[in-house]
Amino acid sequence: MKISDFLKKTVVLRFKSTLMVYPTKDIKIIKISLIIIASVVVMFVLRLFSFIFIPLFLALFIALLLLPLLDWFARKKIPNWLGIVFIVLISVILIWVNVLIFQNTASELYASKSEIMKSANEKINPLWAEFRQYMGLHSETNQSSEIIDVEKWLNDNSRTLINQLSTFVTGVFMTIFFLSLFLTGANLFEVYISKISDDDKNIIQTFRNIIDTLNGFIKVKFLVSLLTGILFGIIVMSFGVKFALFWGVMAFLLNFVQLIGSFFITTVLILFGFVEINSTGNLLLFGSLLIATQVIVGGIMEPILMGKSFKINTISILISLSIWGFVFGIAGLVLAIPIMVFLKMILERIPATQRLASLMNSVNEPKRKNPTK
């Protein structure tokens, strides 16, 4: 017998003998406590080194989504290195297009900032003064405290905004770097997965099913977000509000953040429309069309296209958004739902955790049968 096997058996026997001292109920409490402590430690480490884990997780998630494309390249006898170069090049081009859109929007905003700031102050300051007076904060001797100087706020926070922008750009380049590494070894994913369990065929098939499901989820989310962005851009352009292309792109991107993203972009755009649109009737129609777009596309079309496989109740979504938003910030809000879908599918395939997976289902969704049978 090898020394390592002997030591392993000795440790296992001692652990079992230690557990036999405690009642079964106490053992369960100990296990749950250890799981909670381990989870807190993992969350703390992820948050502490988020500048590395965010690009790493994003790159891994994108690489998993691109596996079908790499398989298509292989069937067409396209070299793996050429496919990777093509994917990275397309990614850089898409990022550069978005950078140009944001750059042009910033230039136009700077050119017309005086007009926008004047209109904003003229419309916001009276409302702010009435609100302060209603709350009993009105001061006759200090009228300047009622003035909201938006331009001054931007100037005071410009350094913070620049730092956040530089951090974002660094994260993008790190994501592209990690993505290139993952794609280089993408054809070995199933080899690594097969080493986790002795049942190679079952675990590989489960891995493929998860990848197919995630791809379906992303396809639907992409189409819904694209439709939302196009409709938002058309509505903004129709009412003569500035930066229609920018708002369309922002609606497309923020729609990937479940619940919060669509609410945020709709609220901000209505406030910007309040500054730009002079007619009260047009402003009400403008806001109504934006809200109706979110309700029809996000509230009706998206659940129908998603189907029962992706129905997760609102409480689970909010918990996932809270946890991953706390750990990874905005990137965590984007990754929260795909991670939740990924975990739900894994839990459904483990008999001991199927009850936990059923808690994530929507109210009207029936309990799913054990997919491992």
Cα 232 to Cα 247: distance, rounded to the nearest angstrom: 7
Range of the structural domain that residue 2 is part of: 1-29
Domain-located, residue 66: yes
Residue 214 confidence class, pLDDT cut points 50, 70, 90 = confident
DSSP string, 163-199: HHHHHHHHHHHHHHHHHHHHHHTGGGHHHHHHTT-S-
pLDDT tens sequence across 261-275: 888 999 999 989 988
Tell me which range, 28-32, 65-69, 162-166, 237-241, is most confidently predicted by mean pLDDT.
237-241
Last residue of a domain, one of 163, 195, 227: 195
Of 178, 195, 212, which residue is a domain's last?
A: 195
Same domain, 71 and 158: yes
Q: What one-character-per-residue DSSP string does 93-142 give?
A: HHHHHHHHHHHHHHHHHHHTHHHHHHHHHHHHHHHHHHHHHHTT---SS-
pLDDT tens, residue by residue, 309-319: 566 777 888 88
**What pLDDT shows up at residue 138?**
56
Using an 8 Å Cβ cutoff, are 289 and 7 in contact?
Answer: no
C-alpha separations of 286 from 8, 119, 137, 248, 299 in Å: 69, 18, 33, 15, 19
pLDDT confidence band for 109 (50 / 70 / 90):
confident
Predicted confidence (pLDDT) per residue in 173-184, tens digit: 888 888 888 888
Q: Render pLDDT for 301-355 as a digit per residue (tens, 0 to 9).
A: 887 787 655 667 778 888 888 888 888 888 888 888 888 878 887 788 777 778 8
**Do residue 10 and residue 134 come from a single domain?**
no
Q: Kindly state whether residue 320 falls inside one of the protein's structural domains.
A: no
pLDDT at 146 over 50: no
> What is the per-residue pLDDT for 22?
53
Same domain for 152 and 77: yes
Number of domains into which the chain is organized = 2
Residue 364 lies in a domain: no
Q: Could you tell me which residue, 146 or 213, shows the higher pLDDT?
A: 213
Same domain, 182 and 98: yes
Question: What pLDDT, on the 0 to 100 scale, is given for residue 141?
Answer: 44
* pTM of the complete model: 0.73
